[in-house]
């Protein structure tokens, strides 16, 4: 059976030792982020994940959501769990104090989110979407809208969604047809159909606040004519009580491969009263606040499902007796040795461990950069962090969700035939992980965003915020014999990344197909180098073996990092070869012959 064990030691190590939080040291609301406090938060989060949410994971997958007469019912236990999590403030960590939030940094909140997602990704989606809607309203909404809606969203009394997609357009939002007709009182009547709306309808909260993209009469064509509107399911009265229904309905729910306990809805808006968020025809600017936050969150979903699969795979490999070790019997009192003695099983477990711990370091580091971009008192520091977050967001989203698929598939492989059986629980992780590569911008779109927008932005200035620290690290440690096994592979892979970047910059400007054909390989190459940089820095910390963690913890870090450097980072060589091959063979075949 699947189990879940929260990676508390690794999370505490990253938070208390690995991350350099000094740029936030003079931020008043973060001043009490001591190890004692954060450790207590992590301990309780793991307890809730393991004991409250994980027991609902498989049952939620089996039961799914039900639609009856326009109302969606979530699986048994979800409503009670949602109430307990909301009352404990687990959905409002990063929300502002003035609206009842806790004002905690993202590097803390995202580590908590990982444990919640690992325990039950479907459940986590309901809470996560509300935070995304909160962020957009907080940044672009009027003071009246913020005061009217945000407090109830922070407490979990009301939830939120993002309504982008329509049946005829997915990523190309310039094609949307939903209409917004202005009214004399300053509101708008919103009409249109949206599909694939996560948490669009459910029974967990008394009201659902939809953020809807729509087009006003006479708006410019394409993406430049889209506006963002707040559309409540139920109109609130001036005193905050619920008033009349707002002509918002759910016309269907999708029957999906995974995340079955998360309601994915088709939504109908029929002259539903809405309120402009941000400027007219600048809806994508406001929506990207939600989308960028969501993309980092989806990357963490890939990590979280990888961790859940790894927890089960390790437990199974230690307990399942199968064959004898190639080097001789290891457990002579038993009829066979456990799976973990076999080199190929070790290869899979080490791959899972190296990817998962590397992903956690990378996502924690970027979460800290997000906090610095929002809160650092030095403007230049904030601006640099903001550009770095913008550069790495598509990499985190795509690379970590690809890892989620790889690791959850390996988890099944370690179980063998038993992994393919539904009752054992591990096949669910792969089914759940597959959506992460698709929503919030499919991974191919993330790759195009990286090479088409992020690389050339400001004449490549954003790249310097990553390239320069890596180069400085390599130069500083090039003569360090203890770190040679980390520094030399990182230097080789970094050189490959630089060559690939130069190739795309030169050829992509002349022929966009060159950049497009290289995009996905380039994103993966970049992700591997970024993860290698994380492993090299962790190795630097671990080598003295004097820190807050045990000697065995640091020893494990070094050995796992060496596996990454020896067996995973060399993928950068083949990726560079593929990138340098160009687009000719990719584009040569006439479409009639496909």
Cβ atoms of residues 392 and 293 within 8 Å: no
The conformation of residue 544, written as its DSSP 8-state character, comes to T
DSSP string, 32-44: T--HHHHHHHHHH
> Cα angle vertex 88, ends 356, 549, to 5°?
40
CA distance 90 to 45: 8
DSSP string, 434-451: HGGGTSSS-HHHHHHHII
Ordered alpha helix ranges (H), 269-342: 283-319
* Strands in 42-127 per DSSP E: 66-68, 71-73
CA distance 55 to 42: 19
Cβ atoms of residues 208 and 201 within 8 Å: yes
Q: Is 202 exposed, middle or buried (0-12, 13-18, 19+ CB in 10 A)?
A: buried
Instruction: Write the secondary structure of 463-507 as one string of H (helix), E (strand) and C (coil).
Output: HHHHHHHHHHHHHHHCCCHHHHHHHHHHHHHHHHHHHHHHHHHHH
- Angstrom distances, CA of residue 421 to CA of 138, 315, 418, 509: 45, 17, 5, 50
CA distance 60 to 260: 7
Taking residue 506's Cβ as centre, other Cβ atoms within 10 Å add up to 10
Query: Does the annotation count 405 as an active-site position?
Result: no
Catalytic pick from 50, 405, 440, 514?
440
Q: What are φ and ψ of residue 273, in 5° steps?
A: -70, 130
CA distance 440 to 397: 9
- List residues with catalytic annotation: 440
């Amino acid at each position: 059976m699947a189990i879940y064990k929260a990676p508390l030691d690794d999370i505490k190590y990253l938070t208390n030792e690995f991350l350099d939080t000094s740029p936030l040291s003079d931020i008043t609301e973060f001043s009490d982020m001591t190890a004692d406090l954060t450790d207590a938060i992590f301990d309780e989060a793991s307890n809730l994940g393991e004991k409250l949410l994980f027991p609902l994971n498989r049952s939620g997958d089996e039961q799914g959501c039900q639609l009856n007469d326009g109302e969606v019912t979530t699986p048994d236990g979800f409503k009670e769990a949602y109430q307990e999590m909301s009352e404990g403030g687990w959905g409002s960590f990063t929300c502002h104090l003035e609206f009842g939030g806790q004002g905690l940094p993202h590097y803390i909140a995202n580590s908590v989110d990982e444990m919640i997602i690992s325990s039950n990704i479907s459940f986590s989606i309901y809470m996560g979407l509300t935070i995304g809607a909160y962020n957009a309203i907080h940044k672009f909404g009027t003071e009246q809208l913020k005061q009217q809606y945000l407090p109830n969203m922070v407490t979990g009394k009301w939830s939120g969604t993002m309504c982008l997609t329509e049946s005829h357009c997915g990523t190309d939002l310039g094609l949307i047809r939903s209409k917004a007709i202005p009214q004399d009182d300053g509101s708008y009547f919103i009409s249109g159909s949206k599909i694939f709306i996560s948490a669009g309808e459910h029974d967990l909260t008394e009201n659902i606040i939809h953020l809807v993209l729509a087009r006003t009469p006479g708006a410019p064509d394409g993406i430049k004519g889209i506006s963002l509107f707040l559309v409540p399911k139920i109109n609130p009265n001036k005193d905050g009580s619920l008033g009349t229904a707002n002509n918002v309905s759910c016309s269907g729910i999708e029957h999906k491969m995974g995340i079955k306990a998360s309601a994915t809805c088709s939504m109908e808006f029929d002259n539903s009263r809405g309120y402009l968020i941000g400027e007219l025809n600048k809806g994508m600017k406001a929506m990207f606040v939600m989308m960028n936050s969501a993309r980092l969150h989806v990357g963490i979903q890939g990590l979280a499902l990888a961790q859940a699969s790894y927890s089960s795979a390790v437990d199974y490999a230690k307990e399942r007796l199968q064959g004898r070790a190639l080097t001789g019997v290891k457990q002579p009192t038993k009829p066979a040795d456990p799976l973990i003695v076999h080199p190929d099983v070790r290869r899979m477990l080490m791959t899972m461990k190296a990817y998962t711990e590397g992903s956690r370091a990378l996502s924690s580091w970027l979460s800290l950069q997000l906090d610095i971009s929002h809160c650092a008192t030095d403007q230049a520091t904030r601006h640099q962090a903001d550009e770095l977050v913008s550069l790495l967001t598509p990499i985190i989203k795509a690379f970590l969700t690809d890892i989620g698929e790889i690791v959850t598939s390996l988890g099944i492989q370690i179980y063998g035939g038993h992994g393919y059986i539904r009752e054992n629980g591990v096949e669910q992780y792969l089914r759940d992980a597959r959506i992460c590569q698709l929503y919030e911008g499919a991974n191919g779109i993330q790759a195009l965003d990286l090479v088409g927008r992020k690389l050339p932005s400001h004449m490549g200035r954003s790249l310097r915020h990553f390239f320069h620290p890596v180069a400085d690290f390599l130069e500083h440690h090039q003569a360090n014999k203890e770190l040679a096994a980390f520094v030399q592979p990182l230097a080789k892979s970094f050189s490959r990344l630089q060559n690939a970047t130069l190739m795309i910059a030169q050829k992509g400007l002349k022929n966009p197909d060159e950049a497009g054909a290289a995009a996905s390989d380039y994103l993966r190459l970049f992700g591997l180098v970024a993860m290698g940089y994380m492993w090299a820095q962790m190795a630097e910390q671990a080598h003295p073996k004097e820190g807050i963690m045990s000697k065995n913890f640091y020893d494990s870090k070094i050995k796992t990092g060496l596996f990454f450097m020896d067996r995973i980072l060399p993928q950068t060589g083949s990726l560079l070869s593929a990138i340098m091959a160009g687009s000719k063979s990719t584009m040569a075949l006439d479409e009639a012959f496909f």
